[in-house]
């Protein structure tokens, strides 16, 4: 809150890292409350997670989408709502510009630079189509989103005198990019579903930002486990988790960057 109050007066290079961190941290919190934390009351958890600090993402839409991700749709390019994979047929049918964007988005650099724009634009386009065809659940979720959005916009514009452009560039866009860093290598396409979920170790700082979802195989094995219990559970069962996911483990995000910064994580054109 204090950062938004002072953001219009501070230099952009000072605001950006803190704005990105806080926005991504809030997205991690939203993920946590979807899975039943920090209270035993779902209505209170939903209230905690529903503040639309990212502006563009209604909490209830994210909740529906994420629970679908856990419901057996993992890395399915046609059905998984959180998958960035595309089929070879879709890639072949795309025009040259879209194909270049799809290709770039399979690299870590591309995911961080253009991934937020593609993700937000794609989400809003799908939502517009759902609303136009009369999807009542989508309409309800957006109606629930609007009061919180009005409060956030009122705070930013009327109290903080912070322009939407500055907030978007220093908070929303880089915060979503940080969230995409976590999700970039947490899954892979595989015929065996247990082999699709990754582990990123050695992340003392980013592990805190991501509420230990970098140990992602634990989260999919025990989605109700509180974030602060994940590291101990992973340490106790590391050998079993590595057998479970066929050894899909990275030594840290430096390894992820070294392997995939400019090289594709997956190749839909093959």
Closest by Cα among 160, 182, 10 to 82? 182
In three-state secondary structure terms, 103 is helix
Alpha-carbon dihedral angle through residues 218, 26, 263, 245, given to the nearest 10 degrees: 10
**Cα(213)–Cα(112) distance, rounded to whole angstroms?**
18
pLDDT-derived band at 73 (thresholds 50, 70, 90) equals low
pLDDT digits (tens, 9 = 90+) for 127-169: 999 999 999 999 999 999 999 999 999 999 999 999 999 999 9
Given a cut of 90, is residue 2 above it in pLDDT?
Answer: no
How large is the average pLDDT for residues 45-62?
95
The predicted pLDDT at position 206 comes to 98
241-254 exposure pattern, b = at least 16 Cβ within 10 A, e = fewer:
beebbeebbbebbe
Q: Percent helix, strand and coil across the chain, each rounded to 5?
A: 65, 0, 35
Mean of pLDDT over the chain: 93
The predicted pLDDT at position 86 comes to 82
Q: Which two tokens stand for residue 136?
A: 């009542």
Cβ–Cβ under 8 Å, residues 74 and 85 = no
Given a cut of 70, is residue 77 above it in pLDDT?
Answer: no
Phi/psi of residue 158, each to 5°? -95, -35
Other CB atoms within 10 Å distance of the CB of residue 138:
21
Cβ–Cβ under 8 Å, residues 102 and 268 = yes
Flag the least confident range among 64-78, 119-133, 238-252: 64-78
Other CB atoms within 10 Å distance of the CB of residue 193:
12
DSSP assigned state of 199? E
Given a cut of 80, is residue 45 above it in pLDDT?
Answer: yes
pLDDT-derived band at 81 (thresholds 50, 70, 90) equals confident
Flag the least confident range among 26-35, 70-79, 94-103: 70-79
Flag the least confident range among 10-14, 19-23, 74-78, 99-103: 74-78
């Amino acid at each position: 809150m204090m950062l938004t109050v002072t953001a219009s007066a501070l230099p952009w290079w000072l605001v950006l890292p803190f704005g990105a961190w806080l926005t991504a941290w809030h997205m991690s919190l939203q993920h946590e409350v979807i899975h039943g934390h920090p209270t035993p009351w779902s209505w209170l958890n939903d209230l905690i997670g529903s503040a639309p600090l990212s502006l563009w993402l209604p909490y209830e839409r994210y909740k529906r989408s994420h629970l679908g991700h856990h419901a057996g749709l993992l890395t399915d390019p046609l059905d998984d709502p959180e998958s960035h994979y595309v089929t070879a047929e879709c890639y072949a049918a795309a025009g040259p510009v879209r194909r270049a964007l799809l290709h770039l988005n399979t690299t870590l650099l591309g995911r961080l630079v253009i991934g937020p724009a593609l993700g937000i634009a794609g989400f809003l386009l799908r939502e517009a189509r759902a609303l136009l065809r009369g999807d009542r659940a989508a309409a309800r979720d957006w109606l629930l989103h609007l009061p919180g959005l009005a409060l956030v916009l009122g705070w930013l514009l009327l109290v903080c005198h912070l322009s939407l452009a500055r907030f978007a560039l220093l908070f929303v866009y880089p915060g979503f990019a940080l969230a995409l860093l976590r999700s970039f290598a947490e899954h892979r396409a595989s015929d065996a579903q247990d082999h699709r979920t990754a582990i990123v170790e050695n992340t003392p700082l980013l592990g805190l930002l991501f509420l230990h979802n970098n140990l992602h195989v634990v989260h999919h094995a025990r989605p109700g486990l509180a974030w602060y219990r994940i590291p101990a559970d992973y340490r106790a069962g590391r050998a079993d988790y590595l057998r479970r996911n066929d050894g899909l483990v990275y030594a840290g995000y430096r390894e992820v960057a070294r392997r995939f910064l400019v090289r594709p994580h997956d190749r839909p054109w093959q």
